[in-house]
Chains A and B, each alone.
Chain A
Amino acid sequence: MTLGSFSEILAWAGSVVKDIPTMAFMFIGTLMGLIFGSLPGLTATMGVALLIPLTYTMDSVTAIGMMLCCYVGGIAGGAIPAVLLNIPGTPDACVTTMDGYPMAQQGRGAKALGWAAFSSGLGTLFSWLVLIFGSTLLASVCIEFGSPEYCMLMLFGLSIITAVSGKSIMKGLVAALLGITISFIGIDPIWGNVRLTFGNMNLLGGINLMPALIGFYSIPQILNGCTGKTVKAEYRNITLRDFVPTLKELWREKFTIIRSSVIGTVIGAIPATGGGIAAYIAYDQTKKLSKDPDSFGKGNPKGIISAEAANNGVCGGAMIPLLTLGIPGDSVTAMMLGGLILHGLQPGPLLFQNSPDVVVGIFTTILIGTLFMVLLQMFGIRLFIRILSVPVNFLSAMLVVLSLVGSFALNNNFFDVIVAVVLGLVGFVMTKADFPMAPAVLGLVLGGKFETEFRRSLQVSRNSLSIFWTHPIALAFFIAAVVMIVLGVVMHMRSQKRAAAAEQSRFDQVFGQKND
């Protein structure tokens, strides 16, 4: 796959940058993505879907560019409510809440948003470089993925439960099982049997991720914060210096950024995965490699960096199978495939040969979208941070409305609103009881996929488990999952031991005095 001479490439890229209407549409696309990403219930997929009819009359590069910018902005925008309100705007931003919100509570919300924006930008930039220089190679590896590989990848993803379980692995497991069992509801993907639906038609398609996510994250957060006790940070005179990470800070976090971007890009290049899985895996790896793993979940910027670099790294990664093989990696790229076909372009190896100008144009628009996304967040920071100065009573009421409308908006189905409210009330009790929410979402995302791929693998191998160790990629993921589980449990036990020792000495001080 060749694109032409260097001067030709520069000329094609330059023609995109010089075209003011194209740049304006890309700016609008990025802004729209950020708005969609930051509103719980509205996703990048929905934004791109809405853009398709609007871009009929545009030329292909402008149209695809606008959609791509919306995609990049949509994924990054999810971090804004995740940091400020502890409500992820998109499923990909769940991990960002874990350290983003504690930072905001400590009065470092601007810094947390800065890290989120810059890590998102750097993650997209990295995946953009891979898209340009390594797409052919990566696509050839990812096309080898069959059921056993997918199954073990999902297992690897589920192995992260230990890292996101907080104080109790048992509670983490129960939460994860809640998510996993919810994902079983609906039609069995292998035999087509209707499972666990109580004869309700609305449950045939299963529980949608978005209402469940709103239930698990938004409603408990609104209920816990509605009395105004959780908002304590003071945000006045925010300057760019509060937001933009310094070069020294960026250099210090170079390995976290690169590692998470690699994870995001690779996961993104594997069809049917997504930013959520990438963010969880990157967070887990960063925590495991950190010298201070106990600080994660309490406002460690590394947590935000790893999650955001990974989930935005998926943007470029997901474009690899789409552009090189014509295979959409997720729902957004599936929309994008539709957009490309609508403009008379057939993604695949021939696209590079027949329309190199369009390919270079698409590459350029990703870069421009990334720049717009970071700039919009830089200059919009004062506006975003003002969310916190809205009186809690009005903010809570409006968040309830937005959350329920967001649940409804996905399928125009009132049943999703009921799901969000019911899971929200369960989530409220769970947060009060110190059950972590992240494993529940992880289970919901990966549980069903794991089951499907596991059973499909057994069908292929005629019920022999050997299929998992005769496929090298599957075996590698399996070993990695086992190592992660063991490491996670060991680290958790150590941290529990430290916490127990500290508690004991405190008890000795307080209660011991009495005995003396």
Chain B
Amino acid sequence: MEKKTTRVYELIGIGILGGYALFMLIYAYITKPDMKVAGMGSYTFPISAYAVMTALCVALLVRNLMMAAKAKKMEAALSVKEKEALPEEEKALFTFEKTDKRVWITIAMIIGYMLAWKLVGFSLATLVFIFFEAKILNKESKWLICAIVALGAVVVIYLLFVEVFSIALYDPLMSLLF
């Protein structure tokens, strides 16, 4: 039996993947061109694959709910004291382990960084991202060290990718300097 945390994320994962498959199945069905061709049409494979994926997600959903019901039954049979006395591995069957909030902040930072890259350019966005991300992930890191690392990383990455590998990163700030 899977841990409660895995089961919860599995439910979210099934929701995302199943939702994607179902949505794409409908979209593929609607946008399918109405033409008769010799042999297989353009949408035969995609529609079949989305249909199978949707069916598998439904099967996984049923399995997940059954497992959750079984775990709940097992948990109900235990008193609070007995539950506390369980080894860590078994305790994980009934306890949801919260994801560290720094992970959620990092996700938000990545999305923000991506948008900032497009708005203010690569160097400025990267400088701010590395500086704050390093500080958020480890509060004990010194401000000065974070600033030096961020600046150094921006210069090295810029020189390597733009100057050496000729990759055209949108960067109004650095193009003034180099």
Contacts and interface: CB of A to CB of B under 8 A. Distances in A.
A248 interface: no
B6 A432 contact: yes
The number of chain B residues touching the other chain, given as a range, is: 35 or more
Given A196-B28, A409-B165, A171 B60 contact: yes
5 contacts: A50-B166, A393-B141, A401-B130, A510-B87, A511-B77
A196 to B, nearest CB: 6
A174 B130 contact: no
Give chain A's interface secondary structure class.
helix
B5 A432 contact: yes
Interface in A409-464: 409, 412, 414, 417-418, 421, 424-426, 428-430, 432-435, 447, 451, 454-455, 458-459, 462-463
Given A394-B134, A511-B74, 6 more contacts: A170-B63, A174-B53, A177-B49, A392-B138, A400-B110, A417-B114
A28 B72 CA distance: 61
A191 B37 contact: yes
Ordered nearest first, which 4 A-B pairs have the shortest CB separation? A393-B137, A433-B13, A432-B9, A188-B42
A196 B42 CA distance: 11
A226 B100 CA distance: 10
Contacts of A196: 24, 27-28, 31, 46
B137 A392 contact: yes
Contact of A227 (B6, B41, B134, B137): B137
Contact of B153 (A188, A222, A401, A447): A401
Given A223-B103, A408-B169, A421-B110, A391 B56 contact: no
B120 interface: no
Nearest to A515: B77
B80 interface: no
B90 interface: yes
Contacts of A454: 40, 45
Interface in B131-158: 133-138, 141, 149-150, 153, 157
A434 B157 contact: no
Contacts of B1: 503
A397 B133 contact: yes
Interface string B39-62: 111110110011011001101100
Contact of A193 (B14, B42, B53): B42
B70 to A, nearest CB: 11
Interface in A180-206: 180-181, 184, 188, 190-191, 193, 195-196, 198
B145 to A, nearest CB: 9
Given A219-B110, A405-B161, A180 B49 contact: yes
The number of chain A residues touching the other chain, given as a range, is: 35 or more
B107 to A, nearest CB: 7
Contacts of A507: 90
A436 to B, nearest CB: 12
Interface of B: 1-2, 5-6, 9-14, 16-17, 20-21, 24, 27-28, 31, 33, 37-43, 45-46, 49-50, 52-53, 56-57, 59-60, 63, 74, 77-78, 82, 86-87, 89-90, 99-100, 102-103, 106-107, 110-111, 113-114, 117-118, 122, 126, 129-130, 133-138, 141, 149-150, 153, 157, 161, 165-170
A9 interface: no
A240 interface: no
A181 B129 contact: no
A241 interface: no
Which of A42, A391, A458, A503 has the most C-beta atoms of chain B within 10 angstroms of its own C-beta?
Answer: A391
A463 B39 contact: yes
A226 B10 contact: no
A440 B16 CA distance: 15
Which of A42, A181, A191 has the most C-beta atoms of chain B within 10 angstroms of its own C-beta?
Answer: A181
A504 to B, nearest CB: 10
A270 B52 CA distance: 31
Nearest to B154: A401
